[in-house]
Amino acid sequence: MRPTLPALLSLLLVTFLVLPSAAQEGEEIGFDDVVEEAPMENAFPSWTDKVHLSGRFDLNMEVFAPGKEGIQANRFRNYHKFMFLKVTPDDRFTLDAEIIDLSYYELRTQLPWDLAFTAGKLWVPFGATPFHHYYGAAQGDPFTGLLLPNVWSEFGASVYKNWVNGNKISLDTDVYVIRGFDGPRGQVLNLNNGGSDNVFAYGSRAHLGYGTKIGLWGSVLYNQFADMEGAGDDEEGQLLLWGVDLLLDYGLLDVPFLKDLRFRGAFARAEIQDKVLVDPDFNSEGWYFRYGDYAELTYRGLKYVHVRGRYGTIINFDDTVSNKDSHNWDLALLTRLGPNLSLMFQYQLNMEEVDELDNDLFRTMMVFEF
């Protein structure tokens, strides 16, 4: 049986190093931090109090199959070219949008009883964040990902409810309906393509927090797909996608060394029913699964660097073993060259389950964000 990572308990190292600045106090500007950043307070109210612009852009120089004579190749890649617009005309309405590629755009309305309604091309409330699903410990292709889309946004609507917001404990939930996954039966369902018309998916996410140092998310999504021509409704395929994310932030234990560690981990599993694809000797009801996980440990205690290690697994289709099934290590360092500019050095070790490919990767990434 192929080894898999019980995603929330594994640990192993992957990377970030950061030059401290007075403004950052040694903290890196994360991609999600940029997205969530609120407009700065201004003593002289103006349109800038209601409109906030931020962004992230990068350039990557990658060496494909380093050290492999005759195979090695150099290439440039771009993984982020995002400009974020946040408009808050009053306390009731917020417009969030990525305005270059329109990766997402959503209008959020505050309602009574700590409710909020969101509609548009949503960040799908699955996992801790819709960005950078590192299942398998690797981002994968910049526009797809390995298990789920790297930037998972979809047309639909959601309702958010805050149940508890105390000094220590917080609890909130999202419920939503979006375009669902679809694909021809008889083939492994590709989740990277996102949603399709005429297919609806229904989902929910719950978040439990303890102070600012511990966060736990549980997510689930369900839809039916691809009624095969000539088959009845009872022969449609089904998808149940579920997962768990865990964050143990810096400073959880205020003692030397441990206070400078952060743990993040997650897994997602797609249970899929497709009687055309699955051999009845393998599963009489036609069920198979796809699975991904990662565990990440980051250390920020060095003066000029963050060091991070990440490990993860991918199972593409549990009925057969192929080189789409893999165990991946991602080791990296990142140094901050200024308040808005950083440089990352990263080595990605990709180990296929069978028929090993020469697809390891060394990456140098320069990132500008504001």
Number of domains in the chain: 1
Does some domain include residue 59? yes
Residues 128 and 209: their CA atoms lie apart, in Å, by 12
Q: In this predicted structure, what is the pLDDT of residue 133?
A: 72
Buried b (16+ CB within 10 A) or exposed e, 226-241: beeeeeeeebbbebeb
Residue 129, token pair as written in the block: 């964040």
Does some domain include residue 2? no
Does some domain include residue 15? no
Spans of the chain below 70 pLDDT: 1-48, 69-70, 130-132, 140-143, 227-234
Q: Which residue type sits at 181?
A: F
Residue matched to tokens 């590629």: 101
Q: In this predicted structure, what is the pLDDT of residue 66?
A: 82
CATH number of the domain at 168, please. 2.40.160.10
Q: In this predicted structure, what is the pLDDT of residue 261?
A: 96
Does some domain include residue 22? no
Give the tens place of pLDDT for each residue, 1-21.
444 443 333 333 223 223 333
Does some domain include residue 6? no
Q: In this predicted structure, what is the pLDDT of residue 219?
A: 97
Give pTM, 2 decimals. Answer: 0.83
Angle at 166 between CA 160 and CA 169, to 5 degrees: 80
Largest CA distance in the chain: 71
Q: Among residues 295, 292, 324, 297, which one has the least CA distance to residue 308?
A: 297
Residues 31 and 129: their CA atoms lie apart, in Å, by 10
Q: In this predicted structure, what is the pLDDT of residue 146?
A: 86
Domain that holds residue 237: 31-369
Does some domain include residue 325? yes
Does some domain include residue 25? no
Does some domain include residue 19? no
- Contact assessment for residue 177 and residue 194, using Cβ atoms and an 8 Å cutoff: no
Residues 284 and 279: their CA atoms lie apart, in Å, by 8
- Contact assessment for residue 228 and residue 276, using Cβ atoms and an 8 Å cutoff: yes
